[in-house]
Amino acid sequence: MCSTIIIGPGYPLRGGISESNQALQKSFIKENINCEIISYSLQYPSILFPGKTQIVDSQNNIVSNTINLINTLNPISWFRTVRYIMRNKPTFIIVRYWHPYFAICLGLICKMLKRKNLFIVGWIDNVDPHEKFPFQKQMNSFFFNSCDAFVVMSQTVKKKIDQYQFSKPKKVLVSPHPIYNIFGPSISKKIARKRIGIDSTDKNDKYILFFGLIRKYKGLDLLLEVMNSKKIRDMKIKLIIAGEFYENKNKYLEKIKSLKLEKSILIQDSYIPNEDVVNYFCAVDIVVQPYLSATQSGVSMIAYNFDKPILLTNVGGLSEYVEHNKNGYLVDVNHEQISTALEDFYTNGKEKEFSDVIRKKKKLYTWKNLVDSFSQLRDEGLIDDTRLPIDD
């Protein structure tokens, strides 16, 4: 039987990358492929982590076959990781990569594994981090050269990898981010709104959602300008902000106050646990992602899970998730265009129309499709006897 090891965060580390690693692991197992996650005992030093905590305390997230071995600051743990992998004799390795901070740690682990003739696939979220990092291009190059092939989730990331120089060609497959299906079934708007504290006497029926960690590149500033526009005020649209602030929360609160938007905005400033995600997505009519830059989006795939239309800015790989005016909106990074799209959505009653299209498109974003992409690279690598350069 084939066996796979995923190197990347898993429970109890929190976040979309950890969640998707666990979802991929379950999908491999469903396909009768043994799969184990090798995660981090220390992922980031606290000085580099802007959030409140790196772990989540939820029994619902516990998965089997996950071991926390890698300390990114301790090279001894890297050697232990290699020895552990070699004892388990996997068919191939998947290495999750999203930030150049991990390049040295993961690159050295991969180079040691390549000496053992193991096939290594980099699963790449981002090439360029959202905030600049010292020597990021050199760090990326070091890691990319330690892999034999790549799976990415957008054409944008593929194009960036293709710009790097390799001693021999490396295949890059694009497999879109699958839909998250770990948050339970949909519930009615009435129940969802009650659960998140919206007064049942509130007759307003227009709610939009900004979801996820609040960071500068996600454009919450821009969305507040949208909320301040006359057309949005006249339509009495309200905004739910659900996620932990990874930057100065006060500057947003001050802007909300200065624009006199307090009655139009509900804020849940915390990391949203899996069991509560359904409440926020089902409480709203549309999910708005006014990002200033992006590669792909896990938030869009959560929205798809609940058949929720999405409004995206046309940056990075986001354009690959929506057909404009069919299952959502794709607009420029411009508060007037976002306002106009929301006006069209509510004036013309587009929610059901968009949701029906999303239900039909879901088959394009399955975890099996992603498993098949990795398996394709594995099979091609096993057939090609010259696939792995053996280091001296």
Structural domain for 80, as ranges: 3-178+366-383
29 and 99 housed in the same domain: yes
The phi and psi torsions of 274 (rounded to 5 degrees) equal -55, -40
- 168 and 193 belong to one structural domain: no
Rounded Cα–Cα distance for residues 160 and 147 (Å): 16
- The answer to whether residue 294 is domain-embedded is yes
Q: How many domains does the chain have?
A: 2
Find how far residue 79's CA is from the centre of its chain: 29
- Residues 159, 205, single domain; the answer is no
104 within some domain: yes
Name the residue with tokens 């990358």. Answer: 17
DSSP 65: S
| Residue 89 domain flag | yes
170 occurs within a structural domain: yes
Say whether pLDDT at 389 is over 80: no
Residue 184 within a domain: no
Q: Which residue has the higher pLDDT, 59 or 112?
A: 112
pLDDT at 373: 94
Look over the chain and give the mean of its residue pLDDT values, rounded to a whole number: 89
pTM: 0.87
Whether residues 250 and 152 fall in one domain: no
In tens, the pLDDT along 157-183 reads 999 999 998 888 899 999 999 998 888
If asked whether residues 359 and 222 sit together in one domain, one would say yes
Which residues, at least 6 apart from 118, have a Cβ–Cβ distance to it below 8 Å?
Answer: 85, 90, 92, 93, 388
**Distance of alpha carbon 243 from alpha carbon 272, whole angstroms:** 6
Looking up residue 224, the CATH number of its domain turns out to be 3.40.50.2000
pLDDT one-digit tens code per residue, 251-300: 999 999 999 999 999 999 988 988 999 999 999 999 999 999 877 788 99
High-pLDDT (> 90) share of the chain, %: 71
Averaged over 359-370, what is the pLDDT?
Answer: 92
Q: How far apart are CA 45 and CA 32, in angstroms?
A: 37
Question: What are the DSSP calls for 366-391, one per residue?
Answer: -HHHHHHHHHHHHHHHHH-TT-SPPP
CA dist., res. 308 & res. 140, Å (int): 35
Query: Is 371 among the domain residues?
Result: yes
Say whether pLDDT at 59 is over 50.
no
